[in-house]
Structure 1
Amino acid sequence: MRILLLFFVLIFTTFNTVFSQTPAKPKLVVGIVVDQMRYDFLYRYESKYVSGGFKRLLGEGFSCENTHYNYAPTYTGPGHAAIYTGATPSVSGIIGNEWWDPEWRKHRYVTTDERYKTVGSTSDKGQHSPSVLLSTTITDELRLSNNFQSKVASVCLKDRGSILPAGHIPNAAYWFDDPTGNWITSTYYPDSVGLPKWVQDFNARRLPDTLLSKNWDKIVSGPYHESFADWDKYNDGDYARYFIGKKMPYDLPDLKKTGGYSLLRFTPFGSTYTLDFAMEAVNRMQLGADEVPDFLCISFSGPDYCGHQFGIHAEETEDTYLRLDRDIARFLEFLDKKFGKNNVLVFLTADHGGAETPVHLNDLRIPAGVFPESQTEEILEKAIAAALGIPGNFIHEVGNQQVWLNWDAMADLDVKPEDVASVIIDYLRAQPGVYDAFTREELMMFPPEYPFAPELRRGIHPRRSGDIIFQLDPAWHADDKGFSKGGTTHGSPYPYDTHVPLIWYGWKVKTGETFAPVSITDIAPTLAAMLRIMEPNGNQGNVIQEIMVGN
């Protein structure tokens, strides 16, 4: 009897050891990007988070508590590029969400590529590719490391939030089509002969109609003390005008009559829809089904749309994060059942933060403001004409706190570029909220101790960026079209825009935290080190040493 008992103990111990061992490689790597998630949102709503979402990531994972963007401007496109390439805009070439393109000689949207067509809709929303991205991504390097055995899929409501993480050679990238409420892609991608049957079947379920068929009310009963109760006069950003003058609970079926399927982006249910599709992709694309690591990129855009419209202190923003927390708990449970925690490597971060609402800060007697960037080009043209005595089209564009000069016009009129630049800089320096203005060449010569000079330099690409750059004071922003009355925006080198969460979880991740400085560009090389593959070819980041202990 004793021998038999020892036999069963030995069998159980062997079985338990085999199935609890950490595999040599994870079956699946999951990158989660929460658009516009400030660092403090990890803790601001903590009392209302469930145990299986953000709390589980923090309790069972490793948190880099002092993670910052190391460049400006802090926008969605550059943020996603930096996370997955380890490169700042100075190398990746992703200098904004849109800009004046000297090569195209016109304004461009970051991923627009008219060489390719939409797949899954008759709209033009699929005319995109990653060709603008000048570096490989960690997802590219994973595919290159094993003769394309790894599969890469990317999902986001925003096109750029799906395309840039997926890199140049993914298996699939999908984003949301407002006119139809469907997931679509581009003829750039391998699945582009037609939407795969599983995507067509998912679209046929018409989940956006279901999600927008009910009211949006608080998920937790009672007051949201973490948010400001008197926020109504500050929550009317000019991004989705059909929300203006209304408050929770929102009649989504009625708002849909005006907003159409784009309404989904501004509600927490856009994240739910994104996650449902991502989990379907795992199942139907058989991600993580063998011993070769696959990579799933998920970006949740809803918090960004909500933050822009309502602001960081709104009940709507709190409710968005409480619901996202529950979606993350649902996703972690899904990964547990399908793979087990030790077979999945997850990281969660954000593409930028979000600012306080200037009119609210002004009411509190805190300096803040909005710079009228959308009106500046016309004003500058008049100032140049008056100063030089020659009317002309001296400026291509003013945007992203940069000025693109029209060099051809200056040459035709025999006007010295330095004279035009001098007029522009003198005007900008005299404006409220402008910290400083300088030419791109002057910026490159600033000493490193000049405030934010390294961050601004890392945001400049020599062939794409503007000729003159201006920096605003803290709490000042240049989004005067959507941000002058309420809501929030981002883009600055200040901590409210740069300080973001970074949590690692799962395969070979110890429990703990570090307050050592970490740059967003450190994510890609750390993943490369963990997977023992090459970092992206434009990488500027460093391996996070604390993550590698024991690896």
Structure 2
Amino acid sequence: MKYIKIKAFKLFFLIALTVGYSFSYAQTERPKLIIGIVVDQMRMEYLYRYDPYFSNKGFKRLIKDGFLYSNMHYNYVPTHTAPGHASIYTGTTPVNHGIMGNSWYNRERKKKMYCTEDDTVSPLGTPAQESEGKMSPKNLQSTTITDELKLSTNFRGKVFGVSMKDRGAILPAGHFADRAYWLSDNGNFISSTFYGKDFPAWVNTYNLEKKYMKYINEGWNLFRDKSLYKESLSDNNSYEMMSFTADQKAVFPYNLKEAYDKQGAKVLKSTPFTSDMIVDFAKELIVREDLGKDADTDFLALSFSATDVISHMTSPRSMETQDTYMRLDENIADLLSFLDAKIGKNNYLLFLTADHSGAENPLYLNDNGYEVASIDYKEVTKKLKDFSVQTFGKDFIETYSTQNIYLNEDAITSSGKNPNEIIEKLVSYVESFPWVKRVYTEAQILSANPTDEHASMIFRGYDKTQNGQLYVLLKPAYMEYMKEGTTHGASYTYDTHVPALFYGWKIHHGISHKKQVITEIAPTLSQKVQITFPNSTSAQVLNEILE
């Protein structure tokens, strides 16, 4: 009897050990490759508006077989490209990760700075100008999901970033990336010595092939028949400033050869063809760097910037914008097909979102009865300086940038005047502007009432060592920009609302209309592949992706 009990115990122990081992193995199961896609200035409604013109192999495939968050939002301002990419990948906002804009005036340094500038590194890959390659992620203060993947695999997992814009490649790839590549004005993919002194021979060979010349020679004409562009305004309208040469109007077709002869390959950065170039280069990179080929998960961060550049110049209602998204749909289809063949249909995890959305052109809205306008920030700066001199006898305005008013604190101190009185009068004056909703002081921002949505969003994008002492909140639909085209940066839904799609490895089909925030993507991915959270994230997750 005792012998039977001992055998039974041993059998139970072995079963428990086997189950425990299996459970442990399942806990560390990961995809071979993660693909992160950020589409610059993509509005959620584009997935609906352009749906009839998409194929079944691009965006529609992601929606049909993946999970869509249709009510995803940014939870801070400014809603710009660099902080957008940083927030997606760190799972936190500028108050923590430190990327306050694309470029911004730094109060502590008393000068303007660029998000990825780094004078300690040198360019690699033969850029048009040396300054294009003096870039790194050193200004990013938090770790990214890509950083944590490197750490979790003891640096065996490979991480790469690719984009037309340096910030779109560098910030997602993080501090520990194997390499980030971005597009020089001369058409070359370049990098910097931050990632190592040697530049891959295959990239040099790729650059020498100048594959982009086929786009130059063909020019930019409509991708589909003109009758299909019913979601857009007429080709020739007053809300666009698209122009490749001085005598060229913002209408199709665009003669890129003529522009190339005058400007060189830089002309490509104002066309949808940089998206083709990104996909083509990404496919080459996957093969050359053996991504997704071993037991350690790799990560490829891609950013498509043509959508942003073209909407900036032509607005969200242009035929150029619609054409760009119809072409991007084909790019997505091409990439998915390639991943199916090279990595395996169920071996990669892909997510797609945007770094911000985009506003309607104010002139277009005004022409249709909504009394709004574009504001010239230079005129605002002049008004502020003139008011200061007239009211206080001295110019106390250091600068005005991205709706931040920077005060010259040294000048105020030496004048002997009461700083609070100066701030109070400035606030009262700026709030008298017809396009201003409210002015928030530094004290109000740092003690933001959580019930004040705009104040909370300003706080999450604010750093007292870098931002101004006052923040100017514009009324809805007003923007500081030119009369043509559009921009972004506001705390209103037209700039915060973006799509978020998850597809592939262990992702089930579904859709959620519940409001979510962009900083939930990185911690969700961390939980999904069971690695450490980025170090500044609030760790709020998207539960549907983890089910």
Matched AA of 2:350 = V
8 A Cα contact 1:29 1:293, kept in partner: yes
Report matched runs for 1:452-491 at 5 Å. Answer: 452-479=454-481, 483-484=482-483, 486-491=484-489
Report matched runs for 1:63-462 at 5 Å. Answer: 63-121=68-126, 123=129, 124-178=131-185, 180-190=186-196, 193-230=197-234, 232-237=236-241, 242=246, 245-389=249-393, 391-392=394-395, 394-462=396-464
8 A Cα contact 2:86 2:171, kept in partner: yes
TM-fit CA distance, 1:446: 4.2
Matched AA of 1:73 = P
State the distance in 1 between where 2:426 and 2:207 align.
51
State the distance in 1 between where 2:223 and 2:252 align.
11
Report matched runs for 1:21-60 at 5 Å. Answer: 24-60=29-65
Matched AA of 1:181 = G
1:511 equivalent to 2:509? Answer yes
TM-fit CA distance, 1:228: 3.1
Matched AA of 1:131 = K
State the distance in 2 between where 1:257 and 1:220 align.
27
8 A Cα contact 2:107 2:468, kept in partner: no
8 A Cα contact 2:28 2:530, kept in partner: no
- Structure 1 segments, 4+ long, off by >6 Å, are 238-241
State the distance in 1 between where 2:489 and 2:153 align.
37
Q: Which residue of 2 aligns with 1:495?
A: 493
Matched AA of 1:493 = S
Matched AA of 1:141 = E
8 A Cα contact 1:23 1:343, kept in partner: no
8 A Cα contact 1:438 1:468, kept in partner: yes
Matched AA of 1:314 = S
TM-fit CA distance, 1:118: 1.1
8 A Cα contact 1:116 1:127, kept in partner: yes
Q: Which residue of 1 aligns with 2:8?
A: none
C-alpha RMSD of matched pairs (Å): 1.8
SS of the residue corresponding to residue 153 of structure 1 reads: strand
TM-fit CA distance, 1:287: 0.9
State the distance in 2 between where 1:101 and 1:222 align.
47
SS of the residue corresponding to residue 456 of structure 2 reads: helix
TM-fit CA distance, 1:440: 1.6
Task: Describe the superposition over 1:151-186 as per-residue Cα deviations: whole angstroms up to 9, x where unpaired.
Answer: 0000001011111001111000011110x2101111
8 A Cα contact 2:27 2:530, kept in partner: no
Question: Compared with structure 1, are the counterparts of its residues 113 and 415 closer, same or farther at alpha carbon in structure 2 (3 Å cutoff)?
Answer: farther
Unmatched tracts of structure 2, length 5 or more: 1-25
8 A Cα contact 2:232 2:322, kept in partner: no
Matched AA of 1:506 = G
SS of the residue corresponding to residue 341 of structure 1 reads: coil
| TM-score of the two chains, using structure 1 as the length reference | 0.91
Q: Which residue of 2 aligns with 1:8?
A: none
Q: Which residue of 2 aligns with 1:544?
A: 542
Farther off after superposition, 141-150 or 99-108: 99-108
Count of residue correspondences: 520
Farther off after superposition, 369-378 or 127-136: 369-378
Task: Describe the superposition over 1:161-212 as per-residue Cα deviations: whole angstroms up to 9, x where unpaired.
Answer: 111001111000011110x21011111113xx23210110110110222221
8 A Cα contact 1:224 1:315, kept in partner: no
Matched AA of 2:369 = R
Q: Which residue of 2 aligns with 1:9?
A: none
TM-fit CA distance, 1:469: 0.3
Task: Describe the superposition over 1:316-355 as per-residue Cα deviations: whole angstroms up to 9, x where unpaired.
Answer: 1111000000010000000000111210000000000111
User: What is the identity percentage for the equivalent residue pairs of Structure 1 and Structure 2?
Assistant: 39
Question: Compared with structure 1, are the counterparts of its residues 243 and 409 closer, same or farther at alpha carbon in structure 2 (3 Å cutoff)?
Answer: farther
8 A Cα contact 1:384 1:423, kept in partner: no
Matched AA of 1:149 = R
Farther off after superposition, 532-541 or 49-58: 532-541
Task: Describe the superposition over 1:520-547 as per-residue Cα deviations: whole angstroms up to 9, x where unpaired.
Answer: 0000000000010111001124110111
SS of the residue corresponding to residue 333 of structure 2 reads: helix
8 A Cα contact 2:242 2:314, kept in partner: no
Matched AA of 1:28 = L
State the distance in 2 between where 1:240 and 1:161 align.
24
Question: Compared with structure 1, are the counterparts of its residues 371 and 380 closer, same or farther at alpha carbon in structure 2 (3 Å cutoff)?
Answer: same
